[in-house]
Amino acid sequence: MTVKKFLLLSTLSLLFIPAFGNGYTPRVTIIATGGTIAGIAPSSAGTFYDPAQLTVGALMEQVPEIRSKASITGIQLCNIASQHMTTEIWIRLASVIDSLFSNDLCDGIVVTHGTDTMEETAFFLNLVVPHDKPVVLTGSMRPSNALGADGPANLYNAVCLAASPAARDKGVMAVMNDYIFAAAEFTKTHTVNPHAFESPGRGPLGIIRGGIPVFFRDPGPMHTVHSEFSIKHLHGTDLPPVGIVLSYAGASAVPVEALIASGVEGIVVAGVGHGNYSLEIEAAIPGIIARGVLIVRATRILCGGVASDVESPFEGQLTSGLLSPQKVRILLMVALTRYRDPDNLQRIIDGYQ
C-alpha cells in the first residue's frame, strides 16, 4: 500500500469515528427551571396541580435510566412556572450554559422547563449560545405524579439526545413526546395533550427511537455557534423592550399607544391573515414609525408567515417571515443590542427563519 493510499484511507476512517468513542461516557448537565415536569398534583387523576415543586435532584431520581446514557450532574437555576419566565432568567441561563461549555464541564445540556414559554426560551438560547454542543429543552404536559406522567420519558429522551454525537451543530432543540424540534420552528399547539408541540409547515427535526436520535433533516443555518449574537456580548440583565399587539376585527390602537407610552423600542403586530391590521391600528402606524418606534408585521396564523414583499403603504415596516410573533419579538430584542436601522434589522429577521 502506498503512503498516499494509506493516508487517504486513514482520513476516510476518521470521518466515521464517533465523537464519543473508546468507552468514553458523555457528560450531560441537567439545568432545572421548574414547570409542570416538576409539578405535584393533590390527585393523580385530577387536572389541578402545583408546578415547580420538585428539585433537579428529585427529577433525576425519578429516571435512574438516564445514568446508563451519560454521566449526569444537575443545577437548579430557578423553580418557577414558565408563564413567569423573564429575560433576566434567560440571560442567566445562557450565561451558565456558556460557562459550562467554555470550561469543558459537559458535552451536552438538558434544560427542564415549563411548556408555556419553552419555545421562547429555546429560541433565545438558539440566538446567543455560541457553542455547537447540544442544548435540549424538555418538559411535560402532566405533573410528576399524574397517571400517565410524560415527564420521565421526555427527560430520558432529552438526555439521550444531549449525549449523542449526532446532536452536535443542530442548534438548540426541544424533545417532547419522542419528537425532536428545532428552536426556531416549534410552538405549543395544544393546552393539555401530551402531543402538544408541532413545527407548523415544516415538521419535526427527527424522533427518538429506543433512546437513539434519528434526524430527518437539519435546522436553518443561523443558530448557536453560527449566530452573529452571543451571550458573551450581551451586557446587563435585560434586553431592549419590545411588545406584541394582537389585531382582530375592530381592534383598537389603544394597546399600541400604551406600549409606546411604556417606552418600548419596537412593537410586533400579530395581524390577521397575511399580517393585516384593523383600520384603527393601520391608521396609527405612520405616526408610530415617525416617532422612531419599530413596527414588525407578523401574523397570528400558524403557517405561511408574512413575506417581505407583502403589499404595504408604509415605509420602514419590518416583516416577520416565518417567525411567530413571540419569536420575532425575541429576535428584535436581541438584534437591537447591535443594530437600529431597518435594513439591517430586516436582514437579521430574514436570516434567522
pLDDT band at residue 21 using 50, 70 and 90 as cut-offs? low
Calculate what percentage of the chain has a pLDDT beyond 70. Answer: 93
For residues 82 and 117, is the Cβ–Cβ distance under 8 A? Answer: yes
pLDDT for res 308: 82
**Predicted confidence (pLDDT) per residue in 31-69, tens digit:** 999 999 999 999 998 888 999 999 999 999 999 999 999
CA trace torsion 20, 24, 25, 31 (10° rounding): -50
pLDDT for res 235: 76
Rounded average pLDDT over 279-305 = 96
pLDDT for res 47: 85
Answer yes or no: is pLDDT of 15 > 60: no
Higher pLDDT residue, 314 or 115? Answer: 115
Q: Identify whether 36 is a catalytic site residue.
A: yes
Residue ranges and CATH numbers for the domains of the chain are 22-226 (3.40.50.1170), 241-351 (3.40.50.40)
pLDDT band at residue 312 using 50, 70 and 90 as cut-offs? low
**Predicted confidence (pLDDT) per residue in 90-116, tens digit:** 999 999 999 999 999 999 999 999 999
Distance CA 32, CA 80 (A): 10
**Which sign does the torsion angle of CA 224, 227, 232, 238 carry?**
negative
Rounded average pLDDT over 247-253 = 98
Closest CA to 227 of 328, 334, 323, 121: 334
Residue corresponding to grid cell 408604509: 314
Rounded average pLDDT over 253-267 = 97
Rounded average pLDDT over 139-166 = 98
Q: First and final CA of the chain: distance in angstroms? A: 49
Q: Which residues contact 82 (CB under 8 A, 6 or more apart)?
A: 33, 34, 35, 51, 113, 114, 115, 116, 117, 118, 121, 139
Closest CA to 110 of 203, 206, 35, 222: 35
Mean pLDDT of the chain: 93
Residue corresponding to grid cell 390602537: 253
Instruction: Give me the catalytic one of 36, 115, 299, 319.
Output: 36
pLDDT for res 309: 76
Task: Taking each helix axis as running N to C, give the angle between helix 118-128 and helix 87-102, from 0 to 180 degrees, rounded to the nearest 10.
Answer: 50
Rounded average pLDDT over 79-97 = 98
pLDDT for res 3: 35
pLDDT for res 341: 94
Whether pTM > 0.75 for this model: the answer is yes
Task: Taking each helix axis as running N to C, give the angle between helix 254-262 and helix 279-290, from 0 to 180 degrees, rounded to the nearest 10.
Answer: 30
Instruction: Please give the DSSP secondary-structure letter assigned to residue 265.
Output: S
Please state the φ and ψ torsions of residue 28, each to the nearest 5 degrees: -120, 130
pLDDT band at residue 264 using 50, 70 and 90 as cut-offs? very high
